[in-house]
Chains A and B, each alone.
Chain A
Amino acid sequence: MSITFHSPVPRAATDKAFGRGKRNNAAYDMDLDGDHNDTPRSAMNDPLIHVVTPGEVITADTAFMRGHGTYVEQEKVLSSVAGVVERVNKLISVRPLHSRYTGEIGDVVVGRITEVAQKRWKVDVNARLDAILMLSSVNLPGGVQRRKQESDELQMRNFFVEGDLVVAELQTFFSDGAYSLHTRSLKYGKLRNGSFITVSPGLVQRCKSHFHSLSCGVDVILGLNGYIWVSAHAPQNLDEIDTEQVYSNKNKEDITPADRESIARVASCIRALAEDFIIINDTIISFAYEASLQYPLKDLHKKIVMHDIAIEATHAVETMKG
């Protein structure tokens, strides 16, 4: 057996293989106005996507302000997360592709009650701290309008207990960065008759409405925190909602097996889209649902089937756009 040893490869050659030396030099004099002179590997053909990793210089130009996901060192703006660079006028921020939920006021979120405390509930909303739902920011059963008294405080567990799922709107921030929620509308409140899915928060698209009724007889609530609720269809018309029953713990009795199957199918479709890291909105869910109809329900958890559904749904959306 003959063994041959090659001489060690010089440093410059490996730098080139990793696309490093070039990238670093380019990063310093990068022109953020669009014409990138940095030509990375074939993976990055889209000039609009600028990916950075922690400690990488985004710009050395002092005219820029630092936003989220960046920090300043020696008058340079550097990234502190791995993600995509976003620029609004002179503000540079880096959005990580995979992280916990960061809310904005007015967001519709789905959450789970984790704790019942003094005049408030703690709600897990996939953020870095549990959100707070004050007793004063919920509706009383029957839609009674009055100040909350001690008697209401004592029966807080009749409204929400630990483990209940709620849909709420983000009202304000506390000084420590925790979110305050409210459910003062009949749109919001306790969730029943359905199933719960989690996806990465970045995948849920901000839309005009996050309450959707799909044509297959299923309602979907797309929480911006990545928590999604898929349930049997319920009347959306505010006059038809029985206000006495908003805190009931009983599911509807007349959910047919066909309805249950549709709920399971829609839930699987959303999981399939999330698995392929595709932005989720009501249109693509409908297309994914249609694509899934050719498969029996029990096959929808298979990786290959999920991938097929996701691809077919994205194609359908693209052809619709033209």
Chain B
Amino acid sequence: MGLHLAFPHLITYRKTNSDVFFELGLRVDGRRPAELRKITSTTSVLSQADGSAYLEHGNTKVLAAVYGPREPRHRALVVHDRAILNVEFNIAPFSTGERRRRTKNDKRLLEMASFVKQTFEPVVVTTLYSRSQIDIYLQVIQQDGGVLQACINAATMALIDAGVAMTDYVCACTAGWVEREAAIDLNHTEESSDASEVTIAMLPKSGKITLAQMESRLHVDKLEEVLQLAGEGCKQIHLVVDKTIRDRAEDLARKLAV
């Protein structure tokens, strides 16, 4: 695994620690500003789905399932020259510190789903699958910041696992301005402090950006540095995700070749 990605996971961020870390120029969980949390991922975790992936970004845990391309559920949705993407997003009630049930029509959830949908529409080669539907189901199991980036990365893996044609990977990463410097991959503590955060989704081969999302104010002079950092993060995430996908493909290819 990437040496500077892994770090002893400090699950509790104690006040005493943060003082020590601050002296050393480290963040609340002991990371350096440009250091990602540990990423672990597996594909084909569900037997019924066409493709699935489980991904952990530090303590943020996400499960993605892809069904399709398949016959559309509703005749009215059919588009004659391409496939339609359908994204459903759900957050487990036990995923945060305080237990909370959300309704299926929660605006927040629908917004997240549409972010993911918009991110993938330019990358998935939908014209190959006319009159079909591709369903992406996202389930957040645990939240510790960077839910959107984790969902996009997991959805990429699940789509590839399902054999859906894509022109490139889509890798998402967040970066923000914490305290007095740009930091990558913010955790929940950092997100909750008044840090401004940017999430971008990037096609690592071409460097094109398919999603840029920011909900708070950030000084324009700092934007470039933050985006640069997020872009670097996307490239690192691509390496990690690609390794999982490639290892799995090689494993299956060898089994088939016997």
Partners in one complex: yes
Interface centre among B69, B125, B168, B253 (most CB of A within 10 A): B253
Residue of B nearest to A275 (CB): B47
Given contacts A84-B253, A98-B50, 11 further A-B contacts (CB under 8 A): A14-B239, A43-B251, A49-B253, A51-B249, A51-B253, A71-B125, A97-B253, A98-B161, A100-B68, A114-B71, A277-B255
Some 14 contacts from A to B, beta carbons below 8 A apart, are A5-B24, A43-B251, A49-B257, A53-B249, A55-B166, A82-B248, A83-B163, A97-B253, A97-B256, A100-B162, A122-B71, A177-B130, A277-B255, A278-B255
**Residues of A in contact with B, size category:** 35 or more
Task: Check: B160 CB closer than 8 A to any chain A CB.
Answer: yes
Which B residues, 145 to 164, have Cβ-Cβ distances below 8 Å to chain A?
Answer: 160-164
Q: CA separation between A124 and B70, bound complex, in Å?
A: 10
Q: CA separation between A277 and B47, bound complex, in Å?
A: 13
Contact B162 A99 (CB under 8 A): yes
Task: Check: B4 CB closer than 8 A to any chain A CB.
Answer: yes
Task: Check: B80 CB closer than 8 A to any chain A CB.
Answer: yes
Q: CA separation between A5 and B125, bound complex, in Å?
A: 45
Give how many A-B residue pairs fall within 8 Å (CB-CB).
132
Which B residues, 31 to 59, have Cβ-Cβ distances below 8 Å to chain A?
Answer: 32, 44, 50-51
Chain A positions within 8 Å of B162 at CB level: 98-100
Contact B203 A82 (CB under 8 A): no
Q: CA separation between A176 and B258, bound complex, in Å?
A: 36
Q: Please, what's the 1-or-0 string for A106-132, where 1 marks a CB less than 8 Å from any CB in chain B?
A: 000000001000000010100011100
Which A residues, 25 to 63, have Cβ-Cβ distances below 8 Å to chain B?
Answer: 43-44, 46, 48-49, 51, 53-55
User: Nearest Cβ distance between residue A122 and chain B, in whole angstroms?
Assistant: 8
Task: Check: A67 CB closer than 8 A to any chain B CB.
Answer: no
Residue of A nearest to B203 (CB): A55
Contact B245 A82 (CB under 8 A): yes
Known: A81-B160, A82-B160. A44 touches B3 (CB 8 A): no
Contact B4 A99 (CB under 8 A): no
Chain A positions within 8 Å of B129 at CB level: 128
Task: Check: B247 CB closer than 8 A to any chain A CB.
Answer: yes
Task: Check: B214 CB closer than 8 A to any chain A CB.
Answer: no
Chain B positions within 8 Å of A202 at CB level: 256
Contact A277 B256 (CB under 8 A): yes
Residue from B32, B70, B245 in contact with A8 in the complex, judged by beta carbons closer than 8 Å: B32
User: Nearest Cβ distance between residue B256 and chain A, in whole angstroms?
Assistant: 6
Which B residues, 212 to 246, have Cβ-Cβ distances below 8 Å to chain A?
Answer: 239, 242-243, 245-246
Chain B positions within 8 Å of A114 at CB level: 71
Task: Check: B105 CB closer than 8 A to any chain A CB.
Answer: no
Chain A positions within 8 Å of B245 at CB level: 53, 82
Q: CA separation between A178 and B130, bound complex, in Å?
A: 10
Task: Check: B120 CB closer than 8 A to any chain A CB.
Answer: no
Residue from B71, B168, B203 in contact with A130 in the complex, judged by beta carbons closer than 8 Å: B71
Chain B positions within 8 Å of A314 at CB level: 258
Q: Please, what's the 1-or-0 string for A79-113, where 1 marks a CB less than 8 Å from any CB in chain B?
A: 01111100000000000111110000000000000
Residue of A nearest to B3 (CB): A9
Which A residues, 132 to 172, have Cβ-Cβ distances below 8 Å to chain B?
Answer: none
Residue of A nearest to B242 (CB): A53
Contact B131 A54 (CB under 8 A): no
Q: CA separation between A97 and B256, bound complex, in Å?
A: 9
Known: A8-B4, A130-B71. A98 touches B252 (CB 8 A): yes
Task: Check: B15 CB closer than 8 A to any chain A CB.
Answer: no
Chain B positions within 8 Å of A80 at CB level: 125, 165-167
Chain A positions within 8 Å of B176 at CB level: none
Contact B239 A20 (CB under 8 A): yes
User: Nearest Cβ distance between residue A28 and chain B, in whole angstroms?
Assistant: 13
Chain B positions within 8 Å of A8 at CB level: 4, 32
Chain B positions within 8 Å of A130 at CB level: 71
Q: CA separation between A114 and B129, bound complex, in Å?
A: 20
Contact A98 B71 (CB under 8 A): no
Q: Please, what's the 1-or-0 string for B155-193, where 1 marks a CB less than 8 Å from any CB in chain A?
A: 000001111111111000000000000000000000000
User: Nearest Cβ distance between residue A238 and chain B, in whole angstroms?
Assistant: 34
User: Nearest Cβ distance between residue B252 and chain A, in whole angstroms?
Assistant: 4
Residue from A18, A100, A178 in contact with B163 in the complex, judged by beta carbons closer than 8 Å: A100
Q: Please, what's the 1-or-0 string for A273-287, where 1 marks a CB less than 8 Å from any CB in chain B?
A: 000111100000000
Chain B positions within 8 Å of A71 at CB level: 125, 165, 167
Q: Please, what's the 1-or-0 string for A4-30, where 1 marks a CB less than 8 Å from any CB in chain B?
A: 010011000110011010000000000
Task: Check: B132 CB closer than 8 A to any chain A CB.
Answer: yes
Q: CA separation between A246 and B205, bound complex, in Å?
A: 56
Task: Check: B2 CB closer than 8 A to any chain A CB.
Answer: yes
Chain A positions within 8 Å of B246 at CB level: 51, 53, 82
Known: A55-B204, A277-B256. A129 touches B160 (CB 8 A): no
Contact A17 B2 (CB under 8 A): yes
Task: Check: B106 CB closer than 8 A to any chain A CB.
Answer: no
Contact A98 B2 (CB under 8 A): no
Contact B243 A18 (CB under 8 A): yes
Task: Check: B254 CB closer than 8 A to any chain A CB.
Answer: yes
Contact B256 A46 (CB under 8 A): no
